[in-house]
Homo-oligomer: A and B are copies of this chain.
Amino acid sequence: MLSIQITTGSDVPIFRQIVEQVRAAIACGKLSVGDPLPSVRALAAEIVVNHNTVAKAYAQLIRDGIVESHQGRGYFVAERREIFTKAERTRRVNVMIQPLVSEAALLGFSGEEVLAMVEKQFSKMVASNQGNR
């Protein structure tokens, strides 16, 4: 059973929290290809958010190509396919790394310190994903 945890008061919009948790559930095998997602209204009721918010998250997942909608039957985990080229994915990450590097340097951090911080947050994320299993 898919369980979604919402943190209001976070900087991350609710719809994005839903997207990320569904993706994490698929990535870690909790949801497999062809599995149904909870209906928009059921999930909205369960996590107590506006159903438009859930619909928006599902729309995003469809745009990302990892969920499919079958008219009248609901949403299902889609066959895995790559939608972005490697170059495009690399570009998107680098766009976020560049300001991080400038900011960290101006704040007086060394490259090693930043690498350590990145590694730490990666581990933290993995740990919290495990917690969802």
Interface hits, A32-61 → B, CB 8 Å: none
Taken residue by residue from 59 to 99, chain A's Cβ proximity to chain B (1 for < 8 Å, 0 otherwise) reads as 00001111000110100000001111101111011111111
> Chain A interface mostly helix, strand, loop or mixed?
helix
A106 within 8 A of B: yes
Q: Could you say which residues of chain B place their CB within 8 Å of the CB of A131?
A: none
Name A82's contact: one of B12, B24, B85, B90 (CB within 8 Å).
B85
A24 to B64, CA, bound (A): 23
A17: min CB distance to chain B, Å: 9
A27 within 8 A of B: yes
State whether B82 touches A88 (Cβ < 8 A): yes
